């Protein structure tokens, strides 16, 4: 079942997101909303579904 993730309800799908260490140290959080299209949902059968979101981090010298 296809789904998308956004930072606001019914928002544009999240494809890229940047944060920095200052925001992390200050406890910044970003809510995530999952959207499943109605046609996909209507075809779903009973069961357990699992999805994955991959987070990648890079380190860079301060500029």
Report the C-alpha gap between 10 and 33 in whole angstroms: 8
pTM summary value: 0.63
Q: Are 30 and 53 in contact (CB under 8 A)?
A: no
Is the pLDDT at 38 greater than 90? The verdict is yes
- pLDDT for 63: 67
Any idea where the domains of the chain sit in the sequence? 1-62
In the predicted model, what is the mean pLDDT of the chain?
Answer: 86
- Torsions phi, psi for 6 (to 5 deg): -135, 165
């Amino acid at each position: 079942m296809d789904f998308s993730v956004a930072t606001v309800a019914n928002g544009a799908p999240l494809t890229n997101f940047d944060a920095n260490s200052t925001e992390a140290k200050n406890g910044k959080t970003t809510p995530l909303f999952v959207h499943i299209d109605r046609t996909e949902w209507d075809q779903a059968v009973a069961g357990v579904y699992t999805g994955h979101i991959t987070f990648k981090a890079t380190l860079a010298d301060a500029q």
